[in-house]
Chains A and B, each alone.
Chain A
C-alpha cells in the first residue's frame, strides 16, 4: 500500500468514526431533550454540549482564545484575567476510543483514551483553530504522560505545553509554598502566551469575584440536589457544560435553571463517588435512574467538584490574591491522586451519619487506578461503620449495562431493607 492509499484509508476510518461520534452525541441529546423534565431553561446547557468542543466554536462563543486544561487544580481565575477561556479536556464518546486504542496500553483510563481519539479526529484542525496552549497539572499517571500519548497517537496539536507540578502531600506547608510557586509559573506562562507583561490587581480581584459569584449560584443548585429536586443527569449536563461558555453567561443560565426544578425525587438517596462522568457517556446516570436511585450528593470532578469551593482572602495584594487561589485550588481539591486525602473520605462518611443518603455508589472506570485504590479504603471504613457501599467498575462500553443494572437494583433492595 503506497502513502496515498494509506492516507486515504486513514481518512475513511476517521470519517466513519466521526460519523458515529456525531450519532452518539445526537442520540444522547435526543435522550435528554425527550425527557419529561426537560425545560427551556435547560436547553442552553444541552445546546452547549451539542454544539461541539472545538476551540473555534468555544472561542467564537466566549470571545476569548481557548487554552486546553487537563485537570482542575490550575486556578481558572488566572486564565480569565489574561483574557483566556480555559477548557477542560475530556472524552465522553465511546466510539472515539477506536481511533486511539491501537496506539495505547490495553488497560488505561477510558476517559482519556476517548479524549485522545477525539483529538485524533482533529475537529480543531477542521475548524481552522487549535488550542492556544495546553496546561496540565501533574495529577494521575495518565495525565502526567498525556503529551507523550498525544505524540504516539499522531495528534496534530503542537501548541505550547505547560505542566504544573502538583505536590501530592497537600496538608504540608512546604507543599503549599511549592504550589504557590507553580501558580506563579503558570502566571508567567500565561503572560508570555498573551504578551501581557502584568496583570492588574483589581482585574484579578474582579475575575475572582466572577468565579465566586458563579460558585455561589452553583451552590444553590447543589442545595436543590441535596433535597431531591435536581436529577443527577441534569446536574451533570449543567456542570459538564461549565467550560463551554463565558463564566458570566453560564452563571446567569444556572440562575434561571434553579427555578425549573420543582419535582422531588422520592427514590432512596445515594452518594455517587469515584471516576468522572462526561457527556455523552451518561450511561451510569441513566442506570441509576432506572434502578430507582437518586443521587443527592457526589464528589465527581466532572460534577460537584468543578469548583474548588469559595476563595477567601484578607490580603488584597497580587501576592495575597495568588496565594488565596493557590491554597484553595490545592487544599480544596479532593482528587484521589493526593497521598493525604482523608478529607475526601470524611466528606463521605460524615453526611452518611447524618442520614443525608442511604449508601455510596462508587463508580470506577477500568484503568482509573487512583480512584480504584481509594475505593478500598472507603469501602473498608464505611462497612466498619455499618454503612452501605457498592463499587461498580465499568468502561466506555454499553455492553455491561444489564449487569450493572442488576447490581444497582439489588443494591436498592439492600438499601431499603
Chain B
C-alpha cells in the first residue's frame, strides 16, 4: 500500500517511476512506439513484479507527457512543465529556480518561484534543433554511440564552430566536415557548444536566475560534454541530479498530493 506511479509518455521514451513516501523505489524507461498505453502498462507490471508487490498496492497513477491522454489507466494527468517544476523543486530541496529540460523533440526553460511553482517558461518552436533527436541524428551520422559523446568531447582542445543546429542542415555540415578530415572529437565538442548557445538564447537574460540554482534535466543532461559547454556559454554553474530523465515522471506523482 501507499505506492504511486508516475508515467511520462514522451515523444522518444516512456519513463516510469514507482514512488513510496516521495522516494523513487523503482524506475525504468522504454523507447516510445505505437501502442503507448500497452507499453506503459508493461512497465507497471514489471515494477509490481520486480518489487514483489500486488497491483492493489498501487494507490494512484499519474500520467504526463505528450501521450498522457492515451493512458486511460491513469487517474490523474498533469502537463509536463508543471510536473517538471514540481519534481525538480522537491528533488533539489527547493534550491532550483531554473530548469533547462532537453526532451526528445523539445527544449524548455522553466523558471520557478520559491514554492516550486511555475513563474515563467519558454519552449522552442516546432523544430528539433538542439533536442534529444538532434543528438541521436548526430550520433548516427558520426557513427559514434551517444554515450561516448561526453568523453570524446573532452579530448578536443577547441570546439569547432558549427553553423547549424537544424537536424537536416547539421547532417550535411557534419558529413562535409568528416570528408575534410576534421576529427570527430572536435565536431562533437562543436555540437555541444552549438546546442548550448541555442539554450542560452532561449534562456535569455530575463530568465537567468538572480538567486537559486540552474538544473539541467532530460535524457541529454547525462552527457557531461553538453553540461560543460552549457556552463561555458552561460558562465554559470549548472547542476544535474542523479537519474535526470525521471524528474518529470516523479513530479507527476507529486501532483497527486
> In the complex, which residues of chain B have a beta carbon less than 8 angstroms from the beta carbon of A289?
none
B126 touches A406 (CB 8 A): no
Q: Tell me how far the C-beta of A341 lies from the nearest C-beta in chain B, rounded to whole angstroms.
A: 22
Q: Verify if A2 is at the interface (C-beta below 8 Å from B).
A: no
Query: Hey, which chain A residues are within 8 Å of B82, CB to CB?
Result: 409-410, 413
Q: Is the CB of B79 within 8 A of A410?
A: yes
Chain B window 97-109, contacts with chain A (Cβ cutoff 8 Å), 1 for yes, 0 for no: 0000000001000
Whole-angstrom CA separation of A127 from B79 in the bound complex: 48
Q: Which residues from 18 to 44 on chain A have a C-beta closer than 8 Å to any C-beta of chain B? A: none
| Complex: A406 Cα to B80 Cα, angstroms | 7
The reply to whether the CB of B172 lies closer than 8 angstroms to some CB of chain A is: no
**A400 x B126 contact (CB < 8 A):** yes
Q: Which of A397-415 contact B (CB under 8 A)?
A: 399-400, 402-403, 406-407, 409-411, 413-414
Say yes or no for B142: interface residue by CB 8 A criterion: no
Report the contact-size class of chain A (Cβ under 8 Å from the partner): 10 to 19
The reply to whether B126 and A399 contact each other, CB–CB distance below 8 Å, is yes
Chain B: interface residue total (CB-CB under 8 A): 17
Question: A417 near B115 (CB under 8 angstroms)?
Answer: yes
B118 neighbours in A (Cβ, 8 Å)? 410, 413-414, 417
* With contact pairs A410-B79, A413-B81, A413-B82 given, residues A403 and B123 touching in the complex (Cβ less than 8 Å): yes
Given A406-B79, A409-B79, A417-B125 contact (CB < 8 Å): no
Answer whether residue A354 sits at the interface, using C-beta atoms and an 8 A cutoff: no
A393 touches B121 (CB 8 A): no
Does chain A have a CB within 8 A of B206? yes
Interface centre among A383, A393, A417 (most CB of B within 10 A): A417
* With A407-B81, A409-B82, A410-B79 already in contact, 8 other A-B pairs whose C-beta atoms are closer than 8 Å: A407-B123, A410-B82, A410-B118, A413-B117, A414-B117, A414-B119, A417-B115, A417-B118
Q: Does B113 contact A (CB under 8 A)?
A: yes
Most buried by A among B106, B113, B120: B120
What is the CB-to-nearest-CB distance from B169 to chain A, in angstroms, rounded to a whole number? 15
Nearest CB on A from B126, distance (A) = 5
How far, in whole Å, are A243 and B252 apart by their CA atoms in the complex? 48
Question: Quick one: given A402-B66, A406-B79, are A383 and B123 in contact (CB under 8 Å)?
Answer: no
Contact (Cβ within 8 A) B120 A383: yes
Of the candidates B106, B113, B115, B117, the one whose C-beta lies within 8 Å of that of A403 is: B106
Known contacts A393-B125, A402-B66; A413 and B79 CB within 8 A of each other: yes
With a cutoff of 8 Å between Cβ atoms, the chain B residues found around residue A409 in the complex are 79, 81-82
A/B interface sample: 19 pairs, CB < 8 A? A383-B120, A402-B66, A403-B106, A403-B123, A406-B79, A406-B80, A407-B123, A409-B79, A409-B81, A410-B79, A410-B82, A410-B118, A413-B79, A413-B81, A413-B82, A413-B118, A414-B117, A414-B118, A414-B120
Q: Which residues of chain B from 108 to 147 have a CB within 8 Å of any chain A CB?
A: 113, 115, 117-121, 123, 125-126
B230 CB → nearest A CB, Å? 23
Residue contact A403 to B126, C-beta cutoff 8 Å: yes
CB-CB nearest in chain A for B116: A417
Q: CA–CA, A383 to B206, complex, Å?
A: 9
A379 and chain B: residue at smallest CB distance: B206
CA distance A317 to B119 in the complex (A): 56
Q: Nearest Cβ in chain A — how far from B203, in angstroms?
A: 14
* CB-based contact B125/A406 at 8 Å: no
Q: Name the residue on B nearest A414 (C-beta).
A: B118
B65's nearest neighbour on chain A, judged by CB, is A406
Q: Which of A368-417 contact B (CB under 8 A)?
A: 380, 383, 388, 393, 399-400, 402-403, 406-407, 409-411, 413-414, 417
Instruction: Give bound CA distance, A413 to B120, whole Å.
Output: 10
| Contact A417:B79 (CB < 8 A) given known A403-B106, A403-B126 | no
| Interface bits A299-318 vs B (CB < 8 Å: 1, else 0) | 00000000000000000000
Least CB distance, A229 to chain B, in whole angstroms: 28
**Bound CA span A402–B123, Å:** 13
When distances are taken between beta carbons in the complex, the residues of chain A under 8 Å from B80 are 406, 410
> 4 tightest A-B contacts by CB?
A410-B81, A409-B79, A417-B117, A414-B118
For residue A417, which residue of chain B has the nearest CB? B117
Binary per-residue interface labels of chain B (51-84) against chain A in the complex, 1 for a CB within 8 Å, 0 otherwise? 0000000000000001000000000000111100
B contact residues around A407 at 8 Å (CB): 81, 121, 123
CA distance A407 to B84 in the complex (A): 13
What is the minimal beta-carbon distance from B11 to any residue of chain A, in angstroms?
9
Cα–Cα, bound, A251→B86 (Å): 50
When chains A and B are docked, how far (Å) is the Cα of A403 from the Cα of B80? 11
